[in-house]
Structure 1
């Protein structure tokens, strides 16, 4: 690992500027889901245990460089205090007088939350003066916001170039899991990629076919690939204008020795509704007035058989319209098998991005995967083979 961890830093008595992602959902002034807060607790506790003083840098919403009262991080403070089990001090700005005064008053054991970094236009512009003002507040920079690492912002990238820097525990866990999945994975490697549109995942598919041994394509994306091969998909969601692109990906996969697994049978219905009347047909026998809403049982059997021989699994997106029954069956069955193999120590499974976490939670499988990423865009960009500015800066 080119980047350092908290274990390699001398934290005692130091102000540790800690970039976190606590951009959590709020309703009527109350945090409704504190998952992201829970994920940063190991970092904060380890900094405190080592005698460091954590000062939290974070964004909240998209105020676009202006002070917007309803996007103040003060609304997150009570949930942060409850999760951490101690008071959290708050500064009404992230730079300047209020921030300097709050940092200067810190004693050992204190935690300080600075106001929304995006209240300053210099944050998203990665402006030098803004970054210098942030860096002047602390001794060490710790990035624990992998989910924001694909942004070259002041608090995610610029500051890492001015202070001794390291990855927090959540960042460390994310990077270690992704390295195990795509960097130097145990083979065979299998990827499951689902979702509505091929167009949103072209870079992802192009990168994966050169890195994995088996690639399962599901959801509406599979319909586009079936249609590209001249198969009638009825009224199914499909991007017919991407037929050439889909065939290019198939050709690229063949050249790379990557097996593409498309549905051999499908579940079709005449309406997109829960418990709609449905039937299983061969993938090339979808009625012209019907739509494909899930992979069929034979397709699921093939996916599971491939999974049983795999050593590493990367999962992004559902295999069907998982939001409504009974079109969640393929996703649920495949996810349950992945969870079972992971628990048995036979499979390293890493999942994240988009609807993935929701689908795996619905299948009661998420907590049994090896690692579930809470990052969306950053997880996908890593899978696409792109360099993440926030990670690269830690290695600089």
Structure 2
């Protein structure tokens, strides 16, 4: 049983249901070019509508900083939303005040209404009590279905949940349940794979994970910083040499927590940072002075596969190499496909998230084969860092 209030506990019939959703979708010429986030909210909107609630959608778009910016209106999202939802979606030119109240008054049970960009008001990002009250006046029930915005203590993500009965939508619920299974109450052993360019952006993440997982694979440019801290020559590879002491501190903390750290034992080295650059595999003891490590090598890949085989739960954030360029995507693709196969055979619960991670799994053709893939970005990362998310905490039982 989830530790959060869900739609199963909500009385929706005849109620004005304010649903916080993520409609911050890519657009070109005012046409939605990627409807992934719209598809994610459909189960919640349909359920509210089917149960006789008035589904009133709250969302932000872009960064208008409290000003009414025409190019950041949510109006162009309506056609795509209507098509995917399969029913009419009304639109109000504001998210509070007379425009919003008038549009809501015209709704029948089961109708859907999208309100204008919440960030057109300065009170949204300031979590201003007056703005919160103006939002709360429009509804009887609040549902948050936007995990991607749950790390922000904004009026529509956190403040309003203190004034109305608040519940997690189905997309939010799925995300929370996946994360709880992965880190809060996981089936062990647990392995984490953390990659990406810089240690500096993931210090909190690494320090939290070493206390939660049984093994931690470090890849990407981050691994070079750790190899350098352990005294290996890494040539001209991307490396934050000023973080050597931080890397050593994390290694000590991992040892104290009985968390095995798995660093590359070899690397694919090139001399130009470009696709299909001539390359060769070297042991980490023999990296050429003018070479750059752009991917984990074959022996490292086998070690990672073996670690995945030993695990019951996998948490993944960040690629193992310069995955955007062939052939330096090989390590990431090989590990991802191995994890996907273990997941398909019911030997592994696999949870992954973060923009580069999602892109890498899509490139490997295995995103659908993982147990759960989060597109939440910052919120996913902060959860892995062990930080409380304001929009989640207010939904706890």
Q: TM-score range by the shorter chain?
A: over 0.9
Structure 1 residue aligned with 2:26:
25
What SS is found at the alignment partner of 2:395? helix
CA contact 2:191–2:313 (8 Å) conserved in 1: yes
Counterpart CA distance in 2 for 1:284 and 1:270 is: 17
Cα offset, 1:395, TM superposition: 2.1
Structure 2 residue aligned with 1:170:
171
Structure 1 residue aligned with 2:304:
303
Cα offset, 1:309, TM superposition: 1.3
**Unaligned 5+ residue runs, structure 1?**
none
Structure 2 residue aligned with 1:369:
370
CA contact 2:196–2:220 (8 Å) conserved in 1: yes
Counterpart CA distance in 2 for 1:302 and 1:374 is: 28
Structure 2 residue aligned with 1:16:
17
Structure 2 residue aligned with 1:152:
153
1:325 aligns to 2:326 (yes or no): yes
Q: Deviations for 1:208-228, whole angstroms, at most 9, x for unmatched residues? A: 000000100000000000001
Counterpart CA distance in 2 for 1:125 and 1:160 is: 15
1:4 aligns to 2:5 (yes or no): yes
After TM superposition, the score normalised by the length of structure 2 is 0.99
Cα offset, 1:285, TM superposition: 1.0
Q: Deviations for 1:30-61, whole angstroms, at most 9, x for unmatched residues? A: 10000000000000111111111110000000
Counterpart CA distance in 2 for 1:93 and 1:218 is: 46
Q: What's the Cα RMSD here?
A: 0.7
Counterpart CA distance in 2 for 1:256 and 1:354 is: 29
Counterpart CA distance in 2 for 1:388 and 1:284 is: 42
Structure 1 residue aligned with 2:355:
354
Q: Deviations for 1:330-352, whole angstroms, at most 9, x for unmatched residues? A: 00000001101111111000000
Counterpart CA distance in 2 for 1:282 and 1:100 is: 67
Structure 2 residue aligned with 1:246:
247
Runs of 4+ that moved beyond 6 A: none
Cα offset, 1:2, TM superposition: 3.4
Structure 2 residue aligned with 1:234:
235
Q: Deviations for 1:84-130, whole angstroms, at most 9, x for unmatched residues? A: 01110000000000000001110122100000000000000000000
What SS is found at the alignment partner of 2:368? helix
Structure 1 residue aligned with 2:78:
77
Counterpart CA distance in 2 for 1:32 and 1:12 is: 34
1:57 aligns to 2:51 (yes or no): no
Structure 1 residue aligned with 2:111:
110
Counterpart CA distance in 2 for 1:82 and 1:274 is: 39
Cα offset, 1:230, TM superposition: 1.1
Q: Deviations for 1:217-265, whole angstroms, at most 9, x for unmatched residues? A: 0000000000011111000000000000000000000010000000001
Counterpart CA distance in 2 for 1:390 and 1:150 is: 6
Counterpart CA distance in 2 for 1:194 and 1:241 is: 19
Cα offset, 1:191, TM superposition: 0.2
1:41 aligns to 2:42 (yes or no): yes
Cα offset, 1:284, TM superposition: 1.9
After TM superposition, the score normalised by the length of structure 1 is 0.99
Counterpart CA distance in 2 for 1:250 and 1:167 is: 37
Cα offset, 1:374, TM superposition: 1.2
Counterpart CA distance in 1 for 2:74 and 2:364 is: 33
Counterpart CA distance in 1 for 2:273 and 2:49 is: 52
Count of aligned positions: 396
What SS is found at the alignment partner of 2:156? helix
Counterpart mapping for 1:253-272 below 5 A:
253-272=254-273
Q: Deviations for 1:300-330, whole angstroms, at most 9, x for unmatched residues? A: 0010011011000000000000000000000
Structure 2 residue aligned with 1:215:
216
What SS is found at the alignment partner of 1:395? coil
